[in-house]
Structure 1
Amino acid sequence: MKAVIQRVSKASVTIEGDLVANINSGLLILLGIVEQDTQDDIDWLVNKISNCRIINDDNQVMNRSLIDINGEALVVSQFTLHASTKKGNRPSYIKAAKPDIAIPIYEAFVKQIQSVLSKTVQTGQFGADMKVELLNDGPVTIIMDSKNKE
């Protein structure tokens, strides 16, 4: 499971002109899932993301986590995080999990991070053509991969 985490001042998702998700200060989480992902991957990634100290304290030092500031989160599924660009000019997405596998894992991830944060987590819509708008704060962008936790 891969995630691109962006610290944002605001972020939103629009589908076919309708605003479906909107957050203020917090994290935009782009989430890519492979068939081999399990509950262990969800546990590890939720813990890392919710406790990652990438939010400024009063001294402008990245020393606070999403939990510390009671920040908001927006989770957007993004199979393209598992693109392979080794051959040719057209990326291959063969590593990305198919919807029948990815959707339950995505939903479990959202449910678990909601539980950890004790608040509703905003989401995009799995498989939809989404327009994601954000104001990256910093900018701060972190890439996490549950298969590279050692």
Structure 2
Amino acid sequence: MTKLEQAIQEKNIASVRNILKSYLSSDPSDSDSVIEQSLKQIKTARLDVWEPHDLGTLETDKSEWDEDYFINLHVDLRMNFSEERYKHMLKVGRRLYSSSLKESSSTPSIRPVMTPSSSSVDGVKKNNALLWGAVAVGAVIIVSVIIKVVNSNN
């Protein structure tokens, strides 16, 4: 049983979302159709993993699709995991990265792993924890500076 199948069986929506995000990160062009197959599994299981779309604009002009736009979509997906955004990201990923994967397949190279390992999911969690820890430390420093400035003005 794959991690996705297990998450679907357990109706663990957070895990399913994390797995889908990791699929987009590891193979944005879905060269092996793992994402499409996963979406079908989720639909068949009638698991509602999607949030209503927040009406954020999804760029339709393909000439505007670049790596920065794809990264911004990833950030937006963390805030609003909508089916519209996810499928749009898949279209953008296919356009941006499918040719680079075809070119690289003609030369020996290491291809990205299509399924997330537990260590990659754990790595994301650790990175998020480090980020929030850094934000908390920064907030403490800022509050300390503000208190010092206020006290020195008194």
Q: What TM-score comes out, normalization by structure 2 length?
A: 0.26
Which has the greater radius of gyration? 2
Say which structure is richer in helix: 2
Tell me which of the two structures has the higher relative contact order, counting C-alpha pairs closer than 8 angstroms and 6 or more residues apart.
1
TM-score under structure 1 normalisation? 0.26
